[in-house]
Structure 1
């Protein structure tokens, strides 16, 4: 098995372990919820998933670095696993099924493997460099995915996470310019909107503020699906603090409106 294949196989096994924990705690009456210093929520499930994944990585890849939302760490040079145990914690704690565990392997600053597992939705997405992007549907069947062929913003479907974040960290007016230029807009939020871009179901997803663990797995998924991933300045990095994913054709026109 190639290095990419072995790493993807491990990432999928890590996601299986995470799913077992998250599903057992989803809608649990005794779910423990705390507030972090940045005022975002964290549940006992978030911490349990990250600890379990870290333990598996310590056994399977002891030389690799780990960066996680709950336990910290840093990616740096070389090989590093970037983890978000539950992306969409606010959904998770309210009983909304749109949440996922995000797992990425970054090699020398570039995501090379990514898995996004949303067990309460019955969906999973994954990609590895040079192997394309894939998903499993509700029927359990796997299929290759690719971005849309929409070529004009006036025909485009756009999503974001939370409009309020554009006020705090970028410009609501900038985002609304893009909204007005597009055919339709929604707020699917978090990981899901970027997976929809990779599937070709929507054409653009933009977020004014993200953390590395929110989008490292998204970058490899969208790029392997034939799309484009940058921060809002146009740099193709998961560490830029913001993100725009697209089918590629619409990327520059969208950036132009967001940065005007």
Structure 2
């Protein structure tokens, strides 16, 4: 028998408090070191410090819930776990671009049920939980109601990094070509947390990321879903931790967004 999930309001309060502490740290501690974990995949001392800060705060508040962080790992197989990207968009952050965020989610038996995204340099905080709607700075938000691609602004996830990314990047190039022909504008913002938060509040009409790393997508998927966006895989199935890609879209744009993604990735096996 599965252990019951603690009250979602209680968990949300714990998560919001931890992320607020991390936001304060980010805004008052500029990065002093940056190193590459792999080719084009950097980490700063602030990423590490925030991961430690949030992990320790969550453990103090609710030690029975496991933790997985992008930088130092954890227990991905636990039935209930917090998942953190301490700074999503590290390159943006390090270079002073404001499109970066702290992304914290709660996964319960394979489903993301709570998400918090803080965009410190934009002074916005987003959160959502199953059945509780989506919120930005204390006010409810809703996804776009755009119905036509020629009016849609679509974000595409960043190019690949590390080794063996040629297929991923070829698919990204193709996706840009397809979208440039049909969408009003195409954007590449460099942060999945930013992309999904902006889909949730209707700033963007859709975002397409040709991958699905848990710490990148879990929080934003809850927020976009609770705001009324469709959050799906490339085959149209509901998005989850085992999905290959991450697509969040205004409901009326489902078919053209999926068609563009299929055309761009046809015959290409992408790494997640």
Q: TM-score, normalised by structure 2?
A: 0.86
Equivalents in 2 of 1:164, 1:51: separation in Å?
27
Return the match for 1:221 from 207, 211, 223. Answer: 223
Trace 1:35-74 onto structure 2 (pairs within 5 A): 35-74=36-75
Partner of 1:139: none
What RMSD, in angstroms, separates the aligned Cα atoms of the two structures?
Answer: 1.9
Compute the displacement of 1:79 (Å). Answer: 0.9
Return the match for 1:203 from 191, 202, 205. Answer: 205
Return the match for 1:254 from 254, 257, 267. Answer: 257
Alignment pair present for 1:90 and 2:91: yes
Equivalents in 2 of 1:210, 1:89: separation in Å?
17
Equivalents in 1 of 2:18, 2:119: separation in Å?
13
Q: TM-score, normalised by structure 1?
A: 0.90
* 2:204 partner SS: coil
Return the match for 2:26 from 16, 22, 26. Answer: 22
Equivalents in 2 of 1:32, 1:163: separation in Å?
24
TM-superposition CA deviations, 1:191-242 (whole Å, max 9, x none):
2122111111221111123421001001100000001112333341144343
Equivalents in 1 of 2:46, 2:97: separation in Å?
15
* 2:125 partner SS: strand
TM-superposition CA deviations, 1:120-169 (whole Å, max 9, x none):
21111110111100002xxxxx2110011111222211112335679541
Equivalents in 2 of 1:130, 1:185: separation in Å?
31
* Conserved 8 A contact 2:92-2:190: no
Return the match for 2:214 from 200, 212, 215. Answer: 212
Task: Report the count of equivalent residues.
Answer: 251
Unaligned runs of 5+ in 2: 1-5, 264-272
Equivalents in 1 of 2:233, 2:190: separation in Å?
16
* Conserved 8 A contact 1:115-1:126: yes
